[in-house]
């Protein structure tokens, strides 16, 4: 601004329009002169994301297809409950990890999202929460499309904008990043002293079983994950969440529960058992409610903290594992 012959405080005004008032164009910056707005437009562009299709589930869940500036599409979800208003956001266009039970895993990874595209997802979902429920977002989970730790720099920069007190101002303790288990980057999170929560998509607790459904396990074994997760906990004091989709006849036997208990006892954690949602590309089926409850009780007998997460948004393919650009 100073180089352009403007007052230095104009920079702060533009900054606030971008990150606090969430402007989508220079025309919205009404406390800046028309001449300066035109100059900004001539030199810079907004690579905004736009809701392409918004679908509302019978249970109130809202799925948003976000059209990116280059034509690519990612999906996000607003999950309303009695106590929380949660945004589930994406970190990549597609995914490279090829988990066999996840719809996104069957897509090609086109590119990483930029930090402002991460931020914009949250901002738009927050607007939807306020418009539909008159309640702002309370929580954010990076459990949408892509592996966040394979887009480390942009995801963390996006989170910095989301949590900065002069920007969106969300508490880091309200944010959970979910990873399929990139051990090197889990350690980097610890070294960087992050203050948000970490979840591991586990889904099987032996190397043989996990590698069958999650190829990433071939290069990031359970033994390495235990070391990395303990390193994360020792450096941050933040308890790990283990996510476990319960898949019929794949990982839902009592033997599997015992293997999960053995893994969980090696780290400071809690366990979320998640109803599995069928997808077109795979023949897996979700376990019955009774089978999940039996599985949970076995873990509880082992003195572990267990929550059962019932699926939301199944009727619009917005539930866990179903995001696949069907829009």
CATH of the domain at 1: 1.10.150.530
5, 144: one domain: no
Query: Given this model, what pLDDT does residue 313 score?
Result: 55
Of 162, 125, 137, residue with least CA distance to 83: 137
Residue 312 scores a pLDDT above 50: yes
4 and 64 part of one domain: no
Contact, 14 vs 32, CB < 8 A?
A: yes
pLDDT given for residue 325 in this prediction: 47
pTM value is 0.92
Instruction: Kindly report the CATH number assigned to the domain that includes residue 72.
Output: 3.20.20.70
Is residue 258 located within the same domain as residue 181? yes
Q: Which residue has the higher pLDDT, 309 or 69?
A: 69
Mean pLDDT of 195-211: 98
| 100 and 241 together in one domain | yes
* Model confidence band, residue 309 (pLDDT cutoffs 50, 70, 90): confident
The answer on pLDDT for 12 being more than 60 is: yes
- Judge whether 61 lies within some domain: yes
Please compute the mean of the pLDDT values over residues 149-154 and round it to a whole number: 98
Do 127 and 23 belong to one domain?
A: no
Q: Does 67 score more than 70 pLDDT?
A: yes
Reported as a pLDDT band with limits 50, 70 and 90, residue 248 is: very high
* 91 found inside a domain: yes
Mean per-residue pLDDT over the chain, rounded: 93
Is 326 inside any structural domain? no
Q: How far apart are CA 284 and CA 175, in angstroms?
A: 30
pLDDT at residue 282, rounded to an integer: 83
Answer yes or no: is 232 within a domain: yes
Task: Decide if pLDDT at 263 tops 80.
Answer: yes
Q: Tell me: do 4 and 88 sit in the same domain.
A: no
User: Containing domain of residue 31, as a range?
Assistant: 1-46
Q: What is the pLDDT of residue 326?
A: 52
145-166: b (≥16 Cβ within 10 Å) or e: bbbbbbbbebbbebbebbbeee
Q: pLDDT band for position 23 (50/70/90)?
A: very high
In the chain, count H helices and then E strands: 9, 12
Asked if residue 323 is part of any domain, the answer here is no
Residue 106 and residue 243 in one domain: yes
Q: Cα(150)–Cα(183) distance, rounded to whole angstroms?
A: 11
For position 279, what pLDDT does the model report? Answer: 83
Let me know whether 34 and 72 are in one domain.
no
Together in a domain, 139 and 36: no
Name residue, tokens 């956001």: 89
Q: Are 223 and 211 in contact (CB under 8 A)?
A: no
Please check whether residue 279 is in contact with residue 321, taking contact to mean a CB–CB distance below 8 angstroms. yes
Residue 322 lies in a domain: no
Same domain, 35 and 116: no
Would you place residue 85 in the very low, low, confident or very high pLDDT band (cuts 50, 70, 90)?
A: very high
In-domain check, residue 321? no
Total count of domains within the chain: 2
The answer to the question of residue 174 being in a domain is yes
Residue 103 has pLDDT above 70, yes or no: yes
* Radius of gyration of the CA atoms of the chain, in A: 21
Q: What is the DSSP string of 151-197?
A: GHHHHHHHHHHHH-TTTT---GGGEEEEES--HHHHHHHHHTT--SE
DSSP 199: E
pLDDT at 327: 45
Where is pLDDT greater, at 17 or 283? 17
What value, to the nearest 5°, has the Cα angle with vertex 149 and ends 225 and 241?
Answer: 50
**320 has pLDDT over 60:** no
Query: Within 13 Å of residue 120, how many CA atoms lie on the same side as its CB?
Result: 24
Two structure tokens written together for 255: 């033997």
Q: What is the DSSP string of 46-114?
A: ----EEEEEEE-TTS-EEEEEEPTTS-EEEEEEEE-SS-EEEE--SEES-SS--TT-GGGGS---EEPP
Which residues are tagged catalytic?
A: 75, 320
Tell me, yes or no, whether 94 and 174 share the same domain: yes
The first and second tokens of residue 13, run together, are 């005004």
Q: Hey, what's the torsion of the CAs at 271, 85, 61, 275, to 10 degrees?
A: 0
118 plus 232 within the same structural domain = yes
């Amino acid at each position: 601004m100073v180089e352009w012959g403007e007052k230095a405080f104009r920079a702060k005004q533009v900054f606030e329009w971008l990150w606090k008032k969430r402007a989508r164009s220079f025309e919205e910056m009404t406390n800046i002169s028309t001449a300066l707005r035109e100059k900004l437009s001539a030199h810079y562009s907004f690579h905004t994301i736009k809701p392409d299709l918004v679908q509302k589930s019978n249970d109130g869940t809202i799925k948003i297809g976000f059209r990116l500036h280059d034509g690519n599409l990612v999906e996000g979800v607003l999950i309303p409950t009695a106590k929380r208003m949660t945004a589930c956001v994406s970190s990549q266009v597609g995914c490279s990890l090829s988990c066999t039970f996840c719809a996104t895993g069957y897509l090609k990874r086109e590119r990483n999202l930029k930090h402002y595209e991460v931020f914009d997802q949250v901002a738009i979902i927050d607007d939807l929460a306020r418009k539909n429920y008159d309640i702002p977002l309370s929580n954010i989970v990076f459990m949408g499309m892509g592996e966040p730790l394979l887009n480390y720099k942009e995801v963390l920069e996006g989170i910095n904008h989301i949590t900065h007190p002069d920007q969106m101002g969300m508490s880091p303790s309200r944010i959970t990043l979910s990873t399929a288990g990139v051990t090197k980057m889990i350690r980097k999170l610890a070294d960087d002293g992050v203050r948000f929560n970490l979840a591991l998509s586990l889904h099987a607790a032996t190397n043989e079983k996990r590698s069958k459904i999650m190829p990433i396990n071939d290069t990031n074994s359970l033994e390495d994950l235990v070391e990395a997760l303990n390193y994360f906990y020792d450096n941050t004091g933040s308890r790990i969440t283990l996510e476990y989709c319960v898949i019929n006849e794949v990982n839902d036997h009592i033997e599997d529960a015992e293997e999960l208990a053995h893994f969980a006892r090696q780290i400071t954690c809690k366990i979320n058992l998640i109803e599995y949602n069928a997808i077109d590309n795979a023949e897996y089926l979700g376990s019955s409610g009774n089978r999940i409850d039996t599985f949970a009780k076995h873990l509880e007998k082992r003195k572990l903290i267990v929550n059962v997460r019932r699926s939301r948004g199944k009727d619009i393919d917005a539930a866990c594992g179903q995001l696949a650009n069907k829009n």
